[in-house]
Amino acid sequence: MVKIKDLNFKELQEFVQNLGFENYRTKQIAQWIYKKRVKSFDEMTNISKAARKVLSENAKIDVLKVVKVEKSVDGTKKYLFELEDGNRIESVFIPEKDWNTLCVSTQVGCPIGCKFCLTAKDGFTRNLSAAEIVDQYIHVQRDVGEDRRISNVVFMGMGEPFLNFENVKKAVEIMTNKDMLDLSTRKITISTVGVVPGIDRMAKEMNKVKLAISLHATTDEVREKIVPLNRKYPISEIMAALRRYPADNIRRIMIEYVMLEGVNDSVEDAKRLVKLVKGIPVKVNLIPFNSYPGAPFKPSSKEQIEKFQKVLWDYNIAAFIRDSRGQDISAACGMLRTKEKCNRC
């Protein structure tokens, strides 16, 4: 059985041809799946019954099942999905005034093990397929209704996207193809912990979508303590990769920086950050640490975050404080879990 959402447009075309159908069927099928978001081939009423039967014998449409939906007081919605092998992942729908964003997962769990991240505690199980990534979008869009169109997608859920490059790339192709999900490349952001070969590959193969880097520290000494992968890809190598990256003022690189009290939030850190990003078109996103019982860090105070932000602005670096959405349902950054046990610890 082919999982039809694993196929980009070209592959869908080949699949349709191999079944002996006319070429124009590809567009029709893509539109039923990605625009009308049907769940079965039987709903494809402009395709003959016999052809629908052949399709359903050879391919499958949905690969996820919604297990639970939680809604935050701020309107954010968290979805718990079950995969065909029983594993579970989460996605977060974040409504804004003028647009809607979906935060998707790319792996079941995560192998990186950042010290402040709750997702890391579940360990790593496996990569998601392209269909499992794309299906998060389709299921959430079906649930929230077509009048609340998801325009933005951030690859900031569970997992490290660049350790699953092929499938992430395929998912982006499906999301941006005009006959498929038809999202604007500028409205898709991929966030990496700093896997340097992934950044270089994105520069060549996917540079129309936006890049975000979870930097979180300005010295290797501190970064190694909170992001273990820093031993493999230290700050200097990450910054060198960002300098090679084809960014400009329109398509700036987002630097993510989680604010941990007394760890990485001093004015000296802010000044070091200014030096690190000098000459690179960036926008800094300061993320207030989302704490949880037993967390090994404390969130920086609002005043300290603002002080840090001011240093950046003083040096003409755009810096914003990320609004932590969906905290009451553990949907904020780093809170997504694969195991549905105690939601907060």
Q: Where does this chain bind ligand SAH (CB under 6 A)?
A: 114, 116-117, 156, 160, 191-193, 214, 256, 258, 287, 289-290, 333-334
Distance of closest approach, residue 320 Cβ to ligand SAH, in angstroms: 14
Residue whose CB is less far from ligand SAH, 127 or 214: 214
- The torsion defined by the Cα of 9, 11, 12 and 18, in degrees rounded to 10, comes to 150
Cβ neighbours of 314 (radius 10 Å): 11
Cα–Cα dist 279/61, whole Å: 46
Residue whose CB is less far from ligand SAH, 22 or 111: 111
At residue 24, the 3 state secondary structure works out as coil
Cα–Cα dist 134/105, whole Å: 10
Residue whose CB is less far from ligand SAH, 26 or 290: 290
Catalytic, 333? Answer: yes
Residue whose CB is less far from ligand SAH, 29 or 329: 329
Distance of closest approach, residue 83 Cβ to ligand SAH, in angstroms: 19
344: number of CA atoms within 13 Å, CB side? Answer: 10
Contact assessment for residue 79 and residue 91, using Cβ atoms and an 8 Å cutoff: yes
Catalytic, 306? Answer: no
Residues 6+ apart with CB under 8 A from 118: 292, 330, 334, 335, 336, 337
Q: What share of residues in the chain are helix, strand, coil (percent, to 5)?
A: 40, 20, 40
Residue whose CB is less far from ligand SAH, 317 or 333: 333
- The torsion defined by the Cα of 322, 234, 155 and 2, in degrees rounded to 10, comes to -170
Contact assessment for residue 168 and residue 161, using Cβ atoms and an 8 Å cutoff: yes
Kindly list the catalytic residues.
90, 333
